[in-house]
Structure 1
Amino acid sequence: MALGTPHPPARLPSLPPQPSSSTDTLQVETLNFPPLTKQHVKNCAFSSWHKRYKKLTPRATVIKPVGEGFVQYLLSDGIFLPPEGEPAEWSSDSDFDDDATGLATRIQELGSKTSSSKASQSDSESDDDEEIDWDGEDDANNNDPATAFPDLDKRVREVLADYQAATPKLNWSSPRDATWITTTNSLKCVTPGDVYLILKSSNFITHDLLHPFEDCISTLPSHAASSTPSSSPRNGLPSDEVELILRKWVDFNPSMEFRVFVRRRRILGISQRAENYYEFLEPLRDRLTTLLQGFFDEKLRDTFPDENFCFDAYIPKPEQTKVWLIDINPFAARTDALMFSWVELLRIDPNDPEFTPELRLVSEDEGVHSFSTKPFSAHMVPRDVVDASVQGGGAGIAAFAKKWQEMLEKSGSGAEKDEGERDNRA
């Protein structure tokens, strides 16, 4: 299994506390989602809608199929990354920190050495006194997982050489919960190792592979079966349907990302995506609402196959009319309702002539509270580390922690050096 546990993402929609009144309880229970089928979920897969809206999205490459070897690699234990070999020819004006590349390489080396040590220990179980040789030389080819998916690895390298930096995702999810493992704290990837590391560290990616259809109704003809959630064996995604998307890296301003909730081809509400307070957004409220409503009416309302869905949009410059389509998600509990709750969204009658969609922005007080808990903090500890800490024999986790600390210290020293150079130039 991959670093993350194969469970749905922890950032589920915020629901109100359990009502004490039986009348209120009944009212909440009758607010059901529209039936969600596998086809609805598949319609939200990136490759399903990207061709139709290609001119509305940042540049992206879809690699499909990825092959069984890559899927097994993502679901396997441990962190094993391919040797980077010859670096891609990045442009001289790349803004990526070289120290981050070095750290990614050191993490790769740590994974390779860990793998080699485990193999040696397995071959000589009778020798209880044998210690792990962290500094031993390894045959890189023996520890290169890309040998299981050479065609995909070649394509990833080609795309990265073209884009210079990319953001990875699978059919539905990007590994936003795993940015903690990168030195940039972002989805920016410049080497194949960056791509594989962040995908392998994400619970969201594991959920895409193992549970994409778990809350879908069955499409079997039987009436009884049609109202029952699909059984576990049907929830996984066949390897020939898994797709790897590499988007050209764009440094988005998080304050201008929004999620729009659509039911019966009408907007129910619009939510700011970032959890921080931005003072300048309030005077732009009407302008932002107009831009997103116009974008939906013109580009999505009559062209997307489903009448119920959610989409993420980015507005580069509010003074202009350009809106980017970033993602499309199912109208279901698996999609984060952000500043709304699904209960209130489901209570809205979009056909009410008096209804006007609301744009919700983080208030100043809410912005202060949002800093108390970092997003996706529940996903920031690798399962392998947790397992090592509870299985006894603390040498393994101690060695891992020591090596990790060394990498962080080296990365920090490089950042301080760059900062000092910038100060001297100033």
Structure 2
Amino acid sequence: MSEADSGPASVSPDPLTPPHTALHWTSYGTWYPIFRKHAPKSTVIDIPSTQPELLDWLDSGTFVLPDGSGPSTITATTSATISSVSSHSSFSDSDEEEPEQALSLPKLDAAIRDVISKYSGPVFPKLNYSAPLDAGFMLPGNSLQCYHPEDVYLLLKSSEFVGRDLEQLSHLFRTSSQQAPTPQLVLKKWFSLNKSYEFRCFVRSNSLIAISQRDVTFYEHLQSSQLQQQISDKIEEFWEDELVEEERWGLRDYIFDVYLTKDLGRVWLIDVNAWLPRTDPLLFAWEDLDELHLREKAGRSQKSLTQDEPEDGVVRLNLHPSPADFAPQVNRPQLRILHDRRMQSSGGTGATYSSNMVPKDLVEFAKTRGDDTTAIPGGTDMSVDQIVKRWNDKVDLEDKSAQQEDV
């Protein structure tokens, strides 16, 4: 029998918070004002009231960056490739179409520049729920630091995570009887994080049941059981003192990310996520979290039974203690650290989000002319459809040549 099955057979999971409610409370513009003093400095910009054209641009098929949003911090090669590819419609094979006119977003440009000036340095962008972590390869150094509006736009446009946010917000607007969150651009003041001190925490039915290492990398110093206990204690203390005691907070099921300073003297609230499949459970599986919830609930039920006040004049003695009476408290969160170097993710952000990358040989191929011998400086003057057609023709030709050699 597993540890999770040791509770009463009658224990059943508590109902989860409805998705619409969970998404309302975990929208950055909702939770940040409540926990502002514990989170990095951020500015929330309402997109529909500032520059609604951004939403249409993000949903469009163009990659032409908004006019006037520079100066550029992307490399010359990347800039030329993006501009030349996106200046053609991906639905047309014509080489004679006029270059696509770039959109201008002056109000949003000004708002972003004001925030960068206020923070005296780069910012880290995200929408209501997701950051463009999968698009970091679009900027130099695989970084998410944005110094100009165009950096922000490039990351948002290149990110599948951001696209998922927009689809979700659109769905909420169509289906929710409650007021759905409006699309918001969040700009956080950039500061470097020691990834080994980032953790994801899981709260189910107002109980902190699990903590996972946020960056799935093996760290030697995290193998210390003493340090692990200190980390767990510090996070649990922060949760009890700040999140549980916050009367304005209206969720029972949620997942929050924290960052601990190296001396464990400060806990920063980095993000709050809905208890939904869209949130990555990291070193846990959802089944693990369900079992921990049942075990924690069974422990609370057992504790409630054993702590019933006796009748006046009656003293209850436990003459036959069970092993469970000596077990650790079940309401302590389970901390998981990566203990095997072989299990860590490899290659950093670029490998983690490789579905958003373009194969290197295809990029190099796109930079050559029709004879495949002369490289085009800075990129290509073909549309995406033309690149794909040339690539397929090249593969077919190679296959035919191989077949002839076999004969």
Establish whether residue 55 from structure 1 lines up as the match of residue 27 from structure 2. no
- Residue 150 (structure 1) shift: 2.3
Equivalent of 1:321, from 265, 273, 294? 265
Matches within 5 A, 1:80-91: 80-83=64-67
Provide the residue aligned with 1:76 in structure 2: 60
Deviations 1:168-218 (A, max 9, x none): 00000001111122222121111111100011001110010012586xxxx
Distance 1:398 1:33 in 2: 63
SS of the aligned residue for 1:267 comes to strand
Q: Structure 1 residues 46, 102: CA separation in 2 closer, same or farther (over 3 Å shift)?
A: closer
In structure 1, what is the Cα distance between the partners aligned to 2:69 and 2:43? 23
Counterpart of 1:418 in structure 2 is none
Would you say 1:182 and 2:131 are equivalent positions?
no
**Aligned residue number for residue 338 of structure 1:** 282
Instruction: Report the Cα distance in structure 1 between the residues aligned to 2:280 and 2:213, rounded to whole angstroms.
Output: 12
3-state secondary structure, aligned to 1:72: helix
Identity across matched positions, percent:
30
**Residues 273 and 338 in structure 1, CA contact (< 8 A), matched pair in contact too:** yes
> How far apart in 1 are the matches of 2:170 and 2:291?
25
Q: How many pairs were matched up? A: 322
Deviation at 1:296, TM superposition (A): 0.2
Larger mean CA deviation between 48-57 and 65-74 belongs to 65-74
1:257 to 187, 195, 198: 198
- Give the alignment partner of residue 271 of structure 1, picking from 197, 205, 212: 212
Separation in 2 of the partners of 1:343 and 1:332? 13
Are 2:350 and 1:378 aligned? no
TM-score by length of 2: 0.69
Tell me the secondary structure at the aligned position of residue 261 of structure 1: strand
Residue in structure 2 matched with residue 200 of structure 1 by the alignment: 157
Amino acid at match of 2:357: M
Q: Distance in 1 between matches of 2:116 and 2:373?
A: 35
Note the 1:353-364 alignment, pairs <5 A: 353=300, 354-355=329-330, 356-364=332-340
- The residue type paired with residue 292 of structure 1 is I
Match of 2:115 in 1: 159
| Cα distance change of structure 1 residues 150 and 86 upon mapping to structure 2, 3 Å threshold | closer
- Tell me if structure 1 keeps the 8 A contact 2:27–2:129: yes
- Determine the C-alpha separation between the residues in 1 that align with 2:27 and 2:170: 12
Task: Call closer, same or farther: CA 1:246–1:76 in 2, change over 3 Å.
Answer: same
The one-letter code of the counterpart of 1:324 is: W
Which residue is 1:171 aligned to? 128
Distance in structure 1 (CA, Å) of the matches to 2:68 and 2:80: 10
2:136/2:155 contact within 8 Å kept = yes
Do the aligned partners of 1:260 and 1:267 also contact (CA within 8 Å) in 2? yes
Cα deviation, residue 238, structure 1 = 10
Alpha-carbon separation, structure 2, partners of 1:344 and 1:32: 15
Q: Which residues of structure 2 form unaligned runs of 5+?
A: 1-8, 301-328, 381-407
| 8 A Cα contact 2:169 2:181, kept in partner | no
Q: Structure 1 residues 203, 401: closer, same or farther in 2, change over 3 A?
A: farther
SS of the residue corresponding to residue 184 of structure 1 reads helix
Q: Specify the code of the residue in structure 2 equivalent to 1:144.
A: A
Separation in 2, partners of 1:239, 1:73: 21
* Cα gap change, 1:150 to 1:398, in 2 (>3 Å): farther
Gap runs ≥5 in structure 1: 1-26, 88-99, 215-229, 406-426
* 8 Å Cα contact 2:43/2:115 also seen in 1: yes
* Separation in 2, partners of 1:401, 1:301: 59
- Supply the distance in 1 between the matched residues of 2:52 and 2:373 (Cα, whole angstroms): 34
Write the distance in 2 (CA, Å) between the matches of 1:358 and 1:400: 55
Question: Equivalents in 1 of 2:118, 2:140: separation in Å?
Answer: 23
Q: Tell me the SS of whatever aligns to 1:262.
A: strand
Range moving further from structure 2, 108-117 or 281-290: 108-117
Q: Counterpart amino acid of 1:337?
A: P
Tell me how far apart the structure 2 counterparts of residues 398 and 207 of structure 1 sit (CA, whole Å). Answer: 40
Q: Structure 1 residues 402 and 276 mapped into 2: Cα distance closer, same or farther (>3 Å)?
A: farther
Cα 1:33–1:362 change in 2 (3 A) is farther
Q: Deviations over 1:326-355 (max 9, x none)?
A: 000011211111000011101223231531
Summarize the Cα distance change of 1:112–1:380 in structure 2 as closer, same or farther, 3 Å threshold. closer
CA distance in 2, matches of 1:186, 1:262: 31
**Structure 1 residues 400 and 269 mapped into 2: Cα distance closer, same or farther (>3 Å)?**
farther
Q: Confirm or deny: 8 A CA contact 1:259 1:310 kept in the other structure.
A: yes
Tell whether 2:185 aligns with 1:244: yes
Match of 1:420 in 2: none
SS of structure 2 residue aligned to 1:371: coil
